[in-house]
């Protein structure tokens, strides 16, 4: 059984991965959710978010602002 969802995007030619990991004991529950920036690696920047739409949008905005700031 697949225990995560993943959406791959790009912003300013940088990979952005939105991930939702499922709880292995109860597949209908979410274990954690995060946004990774850049090439997948152990030390890639990660922003975690909770289960509300507002918190998800705020996490996406934090990632976008940080990425736009680095492009300057």
Q: In sequence order, what are the beta bridge partners of 11?
A: 14
| Assessment of whether the complete model's pTM goes beyond 0.85 | no
Render pLDDT for 11-54 as a digit per residue (tens, 0 to 9): 989 999 998 888 778 767 778 889 999 988 888 899 999 888 99
Residue at token pair 């990425």: 67
Q: Are strands 14-22 and 30-37 parallel, antiparallel or unpaired?
A: antiparallel
Paired tokens of 68: 């736009």
Helices (H), the chain: 53-71
Among candidate residues 25, 52, 21, 54, the one with its CA nearest the CA of residue 35: 21
């Amino acid at each position: 059984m697949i225990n995560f969802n993943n959406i791959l995007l790009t912003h300013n030619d940088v990979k952005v991965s939105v991930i939702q990991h499922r709880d292995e004991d109860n597949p209908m529950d979410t274990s954690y959710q995060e946004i990774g920036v850049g090439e997948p690696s152990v030390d890639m920047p990660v922003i975690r978010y909770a289960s509300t739409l507002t918190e998800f949008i705020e996490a996406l905005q934090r990632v976008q602002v940080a990425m736009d700031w680095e492009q300057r």
